């Protein structure tokens, strides 16, 4: 909100929740606006987590994209393009993580701004062989869905057996952080027991990012 680049605020917001898995969008690597920092490397090193980065958008000589961090070993990782035509590049990370309770398939994505684009992206994701190869495991689909009208929960995801964790949307408003109106950051689960889900509203999270963090506590079914 204050237009200052302070990566330490993101780190503080993460550490305050002590998560096992972290999914971040619009993470910079070697971009001028963020002092040419390699943010995936810096975050992974500070948190001592395994890192999986997906570069989606070029910015000068650098890139930004999706970053998954986890304290547990990574069994497999895939990067899937969800770009539709000439629209802004989008993508999904498909990562199988070896948690203490067993393997979990985490799908981390950042969808487009148009409703038809998002519908196409979800259909492409769910139909893709890479998704289906990991979908034998309990699966979480998480990220910034840009789904203001909450239309995705009743379509292909529901048909594939996914339950929307972030429901009702009025309880999960995360954007913009300083006056949250939209439930854009969502989670869908299959084969996963959800203990609790919440949006973190603190003085730190309101200024650290333009989105409030979504936290989901879960166990494998």
State pLDDT tens for residues 28-64: 999 999 999 999 999 999 999 999 999 999 999 999 9
Residue 162's pLDDT is: 97
Burial 186-217 (b: 16+ CB within 10 A, else e): bbbbbbbeeeebebbeeeebbbbbebbbbebe
Residue 65's pLDDT is: 98
Q: What is the average pLDDT score of the chain?
A: 97
| Spatial separation of the C-alpha atoms in residues 182 and 180, rounded to whole Å | 6
State pLDDT tens for residues 55-113: 999 999 999 999 999 999 999 999 999 999 999 999 999 999 999 999 999 999 999 99
Q: What's the rounded mean pLDDT across residues 136-149?
A: 97
| Spatial separation of the C-alpha atoms in residues 178 and 173, rounded to whole Å | 11
CA dist list (Å): 65 to 46, 49, 62, 83, 162: 19, 18, 11, 13, 25
State pLDDT tens for residues 185-213: 999 999 999 999 999 999 999 999 999 99
What percent of the chain clears pLDDT 90, i.e. is strictly above it? Answer: 97
**Is-contact 117 111, C-beta < 8 A?**
yes
**SS3 sequence, the chain?**
CCCCCCHHHHHHHHHHHCCCEEEEEEEEECCHHHCCCEHHHHHHHHHCCEEEEEEEEEECCEEEEEEEEECCCEEEEEEEECCCCCCCCCEEEEEEEEECCEEEEEEEEECCCCHHHHHHHHHHHHHCHHHHHHCCCCEEEEEECCCCCCCHHHCHHHHCCCEECCCCHHHCCCECCCCCCECCEEEEEECEEEEEEEECCCCCHHHHCCCCCEEEEEEEC
Q: What's the rounded mean pLDDT across residues 147-172?
A: 96
Residue 221's pLDDT is: 76
Query: pTM of the entire structure?
Result: 0.96
Residue 109's pLDDT is: 98
Residue 85's pLDDT is: 96
pLDDT range class, residue 7, cuts 50, 70, 90: very high
Residue 30's pLDDT is: 98
């Amino acid at each position: 909100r204050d237009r200052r680049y302070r990566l330490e605020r993101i780190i503080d917001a993460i550490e305050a929740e002590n998560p096992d898995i972290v999914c971040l969008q619009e993470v910079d690597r070697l971009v001028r606006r963020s002092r040419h920092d390699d943010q995936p490397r810096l975050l992974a090193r500070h948190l001592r987590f395994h890192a999986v980065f997906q570069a989606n958008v070029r910015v000068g000589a650098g890139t930004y994209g999706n970053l998954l961090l986890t304290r547990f070993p990574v069994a497999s990782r895939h990067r899937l393009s969800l770009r539709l035509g000439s629209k802004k590049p989008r993508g999904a990370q498909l990562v199988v993580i070896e948690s203490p309770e067993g393997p979990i398939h985490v799908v981390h994505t950042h969808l487009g701004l148009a409703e038809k684009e998002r519908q196409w992206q979800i259909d492409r994701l769910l139909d893709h062989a890479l998704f289906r190869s990991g979908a034998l495991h309990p699966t979480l689909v998480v990220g910034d869905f840009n789904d203001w009208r909450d239309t995705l929960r009743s379509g292909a995801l529901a048909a594939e057996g996914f339950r929307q964790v972030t429901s009702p949307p009025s309880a999960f408003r995360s954007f913009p952080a300083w006056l949250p109106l939209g439930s854009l950051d969502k989670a869908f689960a299959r084969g996963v027991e959800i203990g609790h889900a919440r949006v973190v509203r603190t003085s730190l999270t309101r200024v650290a990012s333009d989105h409030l963090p979504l936290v989901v506590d879960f166990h494998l079914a």
